Structure 1
Amino acid sequence: MNTMKSSPPRRLRIRHALTALVHTALLLCAPAVGQAAEPFPGTQPLTMEGDLAAQLVGGIDRYLDRLLADAPNHRTRWWPRETSSPEALLKSIQTTAETNRVRLRHILGVVDKREPVTMRFVAPVGTNVAQNTAELGRGPGYRVYAVAWNVFRGVEGEGLLLVPDGESRADIIAVPDCDWTPEQVVGLVPGVSAEQQFARRLAEAGCRVLVPALLDRGDRFAGNPGVRSVKQSQRETLWRASYEMGRTPLGYEIQKLLAAADWLAQQSQISNLKSQIGIIGYGEGGLLAFYAGALDTRFLAVGVCGAFGLSQRHPELPIYRNVWSLLERFGDAEVAAMITPRGLIVEHGQYPEATHTDQGGGAPGRLWRPALTDVQREFERLEALVQAPPRSQPGRALELVEAQPDEAGSAVTLSWLLNRLRGQAPLPSDSRTSPQATGPLPDATARAKRQYLQLLEDTQQLMRESEYTRREFWKKADFKTLAGFTNSFGSYRDHFRDEIVGMIPKAALPPNPRSRLIYETNGIRGYEVVLDVHPDVFAYGILVMPAGLKPGERRPVVVCQLGLDGSPRVVA
């Protein structure tokens, strides 16, 4: 892995580690120098050659790769299982799932209270005003409407609502990949093949289907439109703006899906019907459906297409999928475990492919179709985690579909989803009949810009209100006296260390200090100092001290921290 071009979260982790390790090196080595006339008595000669700063970063990179590979083995402490009986197992699964949902909501930024939701029609007005209706399309047995719904603080969801002519067999939120528009996955406009129009097929099966619009991976609006544009994905721009406020683009869009579920559940209650809500998505939409299904038990069946099996290679993904501390507790298997015993079907078919480079100042990352063996391995971890029955057992709540590389929302997947929601409910044969537009279609570009600006503005509103949020957070600290503050800030220090900075484990190796004098000028001496920390990980810095210190003489230690891409030699 090329560490120098890794994503900012990875590099920031390395930066924090460097800060702590160099600080340790300085503090440990300073007393030894002052106690003797000769340089660093008791240390071994430093014989390492080359760019030590680059070697340090490379070593930390290898160390983190090992931690990543071993992460699944350390998650068991967050997912205890009681196996004395099937009932005890189910109870332990549900208990740990609820505990871990709290954590997953927090790190995704799904923390804001949603408003009571209102769904409204937003069809454009055509040239013949007298003939305008909310309907904008019609297909075999269903009608299509453009809708919007409120979430919170001026953030809205937008998309298409497909309503059956008769009684709805089920309510399903069908989430396309972010580079597909709702109109494409419904079949109103070109761009998605008929076989991949899973929202249309579910509507033809008699379901009420809500198709939300997502923000695409392009850079049309990246930056601040009208002020400054940047050549990076607009999803990355939102990630950068929201991350500092404890939110993520994924979290914002999950909130839109949950608000949509609020409305669907509300409609079932009004009609005195049992709520039967399912969710299915592809690509970015598949990931959103996956997380939403894990967080909200109202989704009785969850379909994940083109998204499962990538978590173990999280650092290679685009930065807008980055979630703080995700892999500490949550691989794909653990997220899926929170969906059981409800229904989950995973489809290994088409996956979106995208490559982001750092040429425009953005973070490098990519999306790809994982090997079937990788998906199977993660699915088998899931089966072991929940002690799933054999795959041959009828009515099993977990299913893995091996679809073709060009399939997204295959007939097998859709049939399984319908059966979980409504029993034996076969999927009708594909009519391949696209709905016909009966009115002007929404302006997809204008809608995308609205969605982007709403989320960007919300991050800025959170920033403006952060003073009051911090005041609430710090209210338990005693600022009246030094002693009072000292006695009350321990939990805040722990929070900063564990939840903000993120510290690597304590040193596993003896320090084994090595040093060498690298310059002496103007009454000062500079020493390169290296201490062992972990295999492949060492602390490196330059200790600058006055010449001629007497034995036992004490001087204050000042730590000078270099920049992210700098070197200790620059500041020493």
Structure 2
Amino acid sequence: MAPAFLLLLQVLPGTQPLTLEGDPAAHMLAGIDSYLDRETFNSTKRRPNPPSRDGLARILGVVDKRVRFETLSLVESVSRPAEIHRGPGYRVLTVRWPVLDGLDAEGLLFQPDGAPKARIVALPDADQAPEQVEWPHKLAASGAQVIVPALVDRSAAGLVEPAIPRRLNQSRREFLYREAFEMGRHLIGYEIQKALAAVDWFARQEPKVPIAAAGYGEGGLLALHSAALDGRIAAALVSGYFGPREQLWREPVYRNVWGLLRAWGDADVAAMMAPRRLIIEPSRCPETPARPPEGAPGVLITPSLGEVLGEVERAKLLGASITLASDRGGRDYPMMDTALAALLDAVNVRLSPLDRAPRLSAPGRRTFEDLHAHIQAVVRGSERARKAFWANADASSVEKWKESTRPYRRHLWEEVLGKLPPPSEALQAETRLQYDRPRWKGYEVRLPIFPGVFAYGVLLVPTNLKAGEKRPVVVTQHGRAGRPQELIEPTTARAESVYKHFAAQLADQGFIVYAPQNPYLFEEHYRALQRKANPLKLSLFSFIAAQHDRTLEWLSTLPFVDAARIGYYGLSYGGKTASRIPPLLDRYAVCVTSGDFGEYIGKMASSERPESFLFTNEHEMYEFDLGNTFNYGDLAMLMAPRPFMVERGHGDGVGFDPWVDYEFARVRRHYNQMGIGGRAEIEFFVGVHEINAKGTFAFLKKHLNFP
């Protein structure tokens, strides 16, 4: 028989009636979307002035020490000499130069016949080989020494690993972005490093003359940020790039920069150059299709002239020394003579006329392959990096572990996942009866967090609760594209086979159960939210953490809930949530993860692993610098001394048993060494990507002390 407070009630006591119509999940995502739009719009009003140069370098991945070298190396073969052209007063050489340990840059050196009047790094667009760009010839003919680095183009990545016969249609730039982003690097940062390595060499040459940078399209992005980071660059010319950056999420994913809009738009970056000269040419950018054949959606569209002018004016208000260069047809043709003359004027050189600049044949280069090999070396060394990161964690006792890992929890929340501010809405739950079953009643629940942003789920309350009794709660979490209802009464055979109505099973056994709705559904919609969130230093998990925190706050107020006995059990993306959220939220007393745990950094960033996300369309999965800070074993150890369990089906294609065992061995050892080995368990079973509901149920009963 139901307790008296539940008899015939359509609304839980102490809550307001839930009147939300339509799909709660759709409303949830729409609310998050609106929140991100507001925050993006307001970001320009909150940026520090001046912003941190070191902070910009970090999020761009300009973090590795460049190697010193004495001279450029000539690149030649039997069939192709190093010198490929002679122009009026200069010659063009194919060269290579060291950048980082294990990474070189390739490109062209334009060497004037006389002493250089200036030294310029000329950065073409990604799809332009250095040999095919005409404007560096004009700079060289005017007496400048010019280096033109080769960038990674936007062509399909193709067959990356011969041992994994999978041809990828995602662009080479996206592929490199993914693996680098996970390791706290960035394709943008690597290409900036190539440009700055050239600046390093320029700065050591005699005679001492001004150094400048110029670029178009992707090269314009690099020229702007290189000049902002390096005060040795006396002037910069940016063509086909400058404009408002608040729609960064619509651009190709390889331009996604973690936390960029917190402190920087293009105007803010431009202001970092002051008082050095910046020339902006509002030419048409290298426009790309809205979506590549495979990979993340994203498009390059030329901003309107008004948008460019608006960002230029904002830069001037911030103190930038900025000049707008335009010419006849300047919206269509980049690097017109007016723009080149303005750049040369900034370094005290006059533009010389050049009747015709040749387009030379480009050799085959290994720019993509070499950079990929370098990033994979970083991935392989990530365990050493994580060991160094964790050096201050003290596992000599439970108390010292809890105290010494507080900074690590803070870093995970603030620097990796992104932390939202405290809720602005009062905790006023809205509920309505959805299930009326003999053993339990089920209530839909809506909990406000911010305007339009809320947590939603279904609470199952056993009908055999006694007056004054307090019981444990198990929070049961669905996977990608899932719904709370699929964990209770599945409506499809697939949902039944995957989830086995495990929320209802737990309620049948007397647990109070709460099944939240997480926002990873509607496929490209939630991925677009991740793209919108990242430039604000936020992610989907920023919202998931806030939703779970508010849910726990509310559950703890219910008179029939024992707030000290709340556990978590999630499958797939819900298992991914298990590794990230319970370690942060102390109200979770027990955690069970299913269908996700394993050696995660290799899965995300190693091209040697056939199950790697590098080979899938799940471009939203990447978390900046996770590879140097937290693998799944590290995240699990943040749960300690609270109990932690892994559920693993032998046939689950999400991972492989040896990698799961490898990572869990670290967790088991950690718990054992602290004298709490009985609180860490793993269950392997014959099955696939599914709930097993056997050892995990026993684990929950044991550690939640129920019944």
- Report the TM-score when normalising by structure 2: 0.65
Query: Aligned to 1:419, what secondary structure does the other structure show?
Result: helix
Q: Which residue of 2 aligns with 1:91?
A: none
2:6 & 2:460 partners in 1: Cα distance?
16
CA distance in 2, matches of 1:180, 1:471: 41
2: CA distance, partners of 1:221 / 1:384: 46
Measured against aligned partners, the alpha-carbon deviations of 1:193-232 in whole angstroms (never above 9, x if no partner) come to xxxx221111111111111111111104475466322221
Q: How far, CA to CA, are the matches of 1:200 and 1:341 in structure 2?
A: 28
For residues 296 and 395 of structure 2, what CA distance do their matches in structure 1 show?
A: 40
Equivalent residue of 1:354, what SS? coil
Does residue 146 (structure 1) correspond to residue 87 (structure 2)? The answer is no
Gaps of 5+ in 1: 1-32, 80-95, 127-131, 186-196, 389-396
1:398 maps to which residue?
322
> How far does residue 455 in structure 1 lie from its aligned partner after superposition?
1.8
How far, CA to CA, are the matches of 1:204 and 1:513 in structure 2? 72
1:303 to 215, 224, 237: 237
Partner of 1:427: 351
Q: 1:369 to 1:155 in 2, by over 3 A?
A: same
Flag the 1:125–1:524 CA change in 2: closer, same or farther, 3 A: farther
The answer on 1:316 being equivalent to 2:224 is no
Residue 555 of structure 1: aligned partner: 471
Alignment partners' CA distance in 2, 1:151 and 1:322: 23
Equivalent of 2:380 in 464, 467, 475: 464
Question: CA offsets per residue over residues 498-536 of structure 1, 9 Å max, x none?
Answer: 110012222111132111222244623322110111122
Q: Paired residue for 1:174, among 98, 104, 122?
A: 122
- Tell me the matched-pair count: 480
Contact persistence 1:222–1:233 (CA under 8 A): no
| Contact persistence 1:223–1:237 (CA under 8 A) | no
Partners of 2:450 and 2:152 in 1: CA distance: 42
Alignment pair present for 1:528 and 2:476: no
Confirm whether residue 74 of structure 1 aligns to residue 22 of structure 2. Answer: no
The structure-2 alpha-carbon separation of the partners of 1:148 and 1:402, relative to structure 1 and needing over 3 Å to count, comes to same
What does residue 283 of structure 2 align with? Answer: 349
C-alpha distance in structure 2 between counterparts of 1:222 and 1:66, whole Å = 41
Who is 1:120 aligned against?
73
Aligned to 1:24: none
Give how far 1:183 is off.
Answer: 0.7
Q: 1:222–1:234: 8 Å Cα contact kept in structure 2?
A: no
Aligned to 1:212: 149
Q: 1:75-131: CA deviations, max 9, x gaps?
A: 1xx21xxxxxxxxxxxxxxxx45xx111011111110111113420112322xxxxx
2:300 to 354, 367, 371: 367
| 2:177 counterpart residue number | 239
Comparing both chains, which one has the higher relative contact order based on Cα–Cα distances under 8 Å and sequence gaps of 6 or more?
A: 1
CA distance in 2, matches of 1:244, 1:555: 41
> Does the 8 Å CA contact 1:123/1:136 hold for their aligned counterparts?
no
Q: 1:74 to 1:412 in 2, by over 3 A?
A: same
Match of residue 334, structure 2, among 366, 383, 408: 408
Q: Which residue pairs with 1:86 in the alignment?
A: none
Unaligned runs of 5+ in 2: 489-707
* CA shift digits 1:263-312 (9 cap, x unpaired): 1112x2xx3x2242100000000001111111111110111111110412
In structure 1, how many angstroms separate the alpha carbons of the residues matched to 2:435 and 2:380? 48
Q: CA deviation at 1:162?
A: 0.8
Question: CA 1:35/1:146 → structure 2, altered by over 3 Å: closer, same or farther?
Answer: farther
Q: Is the 8 A contact 1:223 1:234 kept in 2?
A: no
SS in 2 for 1:408: coil
**What code does the residue aligned with 2:55 have?**
R
Tell me the alpha carbon deviations over residues 130-179 of structure 1, each in whole angstroms, 9 at most, x when there is no partner: xx743121112111111111112321111111111112111101100001
Letter in 2 for 1:421: V
Partner deviation per Cα, 1:429-457 (whole Å, 9 max, x = no partner): 2312427x7xxx552xx31xx21122222
Q: Distance in 1 between matches of 2:81 and 2:267?
A: 46
SS at structure 1 position matched to 2:474? coil
Residue among 33, 41, 65 paired with 2:13: 41
**In structure 2, the residue corresponding to 1:167 is in which secondary structure?**
coil
1:252–1:42 CA distance, 2 compared to 1 (3 A): same
Which position in structure 2 is the counterpart of 1:28? none
RMSD: 2.0
Separation in 2, partners of 1:221, 1:455? 15
Q: Summarize the Cα distance change of 1:475–1:276 in structure 2 as closer, same or farther, 3 Å threshold.
A: same
TM-fit CA distance, 1:34: 11
Distance 1:133 1:48 in 2: 73
Q: Distance in 2 between matches of 1:442 and 1:368?
A: 27
User: Which range moved further: 57-66 or 401-410?
Assistant: 401-410
Corresponding residue for 1:110? 62
Instruction: Report if the CA contact (8 A) 1:124-1:442 is conserved.
Output: no
- The 5-angstrom pairing of residues 514-525 of structure 1 reads 514-521=430-437, 523-525=439-441
Distance change >3 Å, CA 251–CA 45, structure 1 → 2: same
- Identity, in percent, stands at 43
Q: Distance in 2 between matches of 1:220 and 1:522?
A: 57
**Helix, strand or coil for the counterpart of 2:247?**
helix
Instruction: Kindly state the Cα deviation for residue 459 of structure 1 after the two structures are TM-superposed.
Output: 2.1
- The secondary structure found in structure 2 opposite 1:373 is helix
Distance 1:305 1:34 in 2: 72
Is contact 2:227–2:273 with CA below 8 Å preserved after alignment? yes
Deviations 1:220-275 (A, max 9, x none): 44754663222211111111111111111101111111111111112x2xx3x224
Alignment CA distance shift 1:476-1:309 (3 Å) = same
Deviations 1:463-511, CA, capped at 9 Å, x for gaps: 2111111111111111111110111122111111111001222211113
8 Å Cα contact 2:183/2:378 also seen in 1:
yes
Separation in 2 of the partners of 1:44 and 1:297? Answer: 60
Tell me, in whole angstroms, the C-alpha distance in 2 between the residues paired with 1:274 and 1:134.
26
Which residue is 2:188 aligned to? 250
- Find the aligned partners of 1:261 and 1:161 in 2 and give their Cα distance: 13
Where does residue 218 of structure 2 map in the other structure? 284
Structure-1-length-normalised TM-score: 0.80
